[in-house]
Copies of this chain bind each other. A is one copy, B any other.
Amino acid sequence: MIRNTLKELLYAKKYKEIHDMLVAYNPVDLAELLMELDDSELAAIFRMIDKEKAAEVFSYMEDDQRQTLLKGFTSQEISYILDTMYTDDAVDFLEDMPANVVTKLLEHVSGETRADINRLLKYPEDSAGSIMTVEYVELSPEMTVGQALAKIRRVGIESETVYTCYVVERKKLVGIVTAKSLMTNAETVQIADLMQDNFISVRTTDDQEDAAKLFRKYGLIAIPVLDHEERLVGIVTFDDAIGVLTDETTEDMHKMAAMTANEDSYLKTGVFRHARNRIGWLLFLMFSATITGTIITRYEAAIAAVPLLVSFIPMLTDTGGNCGSQSSTLVIRGLAVDELHFKDLFTVVWKEFRVSLVVGTVLAAANGIRIYVMQRDLGLAAVIGISLIGTIIVAKMVGCMLPIFAKQLRLDPAIMAAPLITTIVDTCSIIIFFKIATMVFHL
């Protein structure tokens, strides 16, 4: 609707009206609105956004649209956008571009910005250094609150966050001061007396997920990032942390469903890329599942004698798979949010064992009764009941232990999820089932 209004106004050359419409929009919403426009309209509308806001809108746009815009931009426009964007947003954007384009784009920006961007581009992907920004307020311990406030007034407008200021002495971070304490203390108080010297920080090379978890744990707005010599080189802000936590969880979920994690959105990913992300695990699991098939062929005689046995296979393997994936999901998520650790292994195993006894008994009783009522065959009811209990115990044991061991071996626990557990548990449940059946029926 708004999109159509914009198109009409553009066609009617009512530029003033368009500008006034755009002013009312939040940059995030504006980026969303621009996404719906055609390439030709995009550039025209984008140029009607106020300059400073345009740089912010640009940082929220999708890669392909930004590339469209860049093609039509003058070097002045490129340099203004890149100089005005926060360094971390600019780096985010440049990381996804071909190296020759990056070099060309950087020719247009100021020397300082270029140096900052080049430095950040060097940090390994997924490191705290790669998501940090270099815009922050630096104070020194000898300053007074009044001087600090004056400095914020002077430089603060360019800093992504001014709510935590960093006290630096000989390049080393010695303390932090919150804007709250600056605002609530007298102008004459010295920074050295106000600052907290007991602060949380991360290293440039730390994993971005570990950094993000600190925000969740301590409720922080920003975390200072130090190099290997304790020098302050940047900060990570909470909005980036929320993004990292969301992305890492999505990645975990994809891995838990036997897929290679993919940073691009579902709709932006092509069919062949989607297929490639999924085929590897499917092939591996498919061939693993043939083991279960091979085991079944060993019991051909039993099947020939009691053909009904086959009909219980899906129920048994599905239930085993479901029980295993319940346990593995609980443990994988517990490990991811730092609620569970390797030291809890025995507690978890003991708890899952007891849970599987309760669950197994209930399911076995329910199914046993059903079979006895429908088939009037106590032997069969017993075989299914006992097999169910055995399968459920094995499933829950495997499901809870594998992710914990994976973590200890520095593998991603998320791969020890439903698909792999199901395949392993399938084999076990088939063996348990036929062993018990051949025993009870003397086959």
Contacts and interface: CB of A to CB of B under 8 A. Distances in A.
B153 A198 contact: no
Given A286-B319, A315-B292, A274 B351 contact: yes
B285 A322 contact: yes
Contact of A282 (B300, B333, B363): B363
Given A250-B337, A267-B340, A339-B267, A278 B156 contact: no
Nearest to A252: B253
A267 B313 contact: no
A28 B329 CA distance: 27
Contacts of A323: 278, 282
Copies of the protein in its oligomer:
2
A143 to B, nearest CB: 15
Given A183-B183, A281-B322, A359-B279, A254 B308 contact: no
A289 B314 contact: yes
A321 interface: yes
Given A256-B329, A257-B329, A313 B315 contact: no
Interface string A307-345: 110111111011101110110111101100101100010
A246 B216 contact: yes
A200 interface: yes
A377 interface: no
Chain A interface category by residue count: 35 or more
Contacts of A253: 253, 256, 329, 333
Contact of A322 (B24, B218, B272, B419): B419
Interface stretch (A13-21, A39-47, A101-109, A422-430): A422-430
Contact of A310 (B184, B265, B296, B330): B296
Contact of A258 (B183, B221, B325, B354): B325
Nearest to A159: B180
A285 B184 contact: no
Interface in A254-283: 254, 256-259, 265-267, 271-272, 274-275, 278-279, 281-283
14 contacts: A157-B184, A215-B242, A265-B339, A267-B347, A278-B326, A283-B366, A286-B366, A287-B370, A289-B314, A294-B311, A303-B303, A303-B307, A313-B314, A321-B321
Q: 4 closest Cβ contacts across the A-B interface?
A: A219-B239, A293-B311, A257-B329, A275-B358
Given A257-B326, A267-B348, 12 more contacts: A28-B218, A153-B184, A162-B183, A221-B238, A238-B242, A253-B333, A254-B330, A267-B347, A272-B358, A286-B363, A290-B311, A318-B422
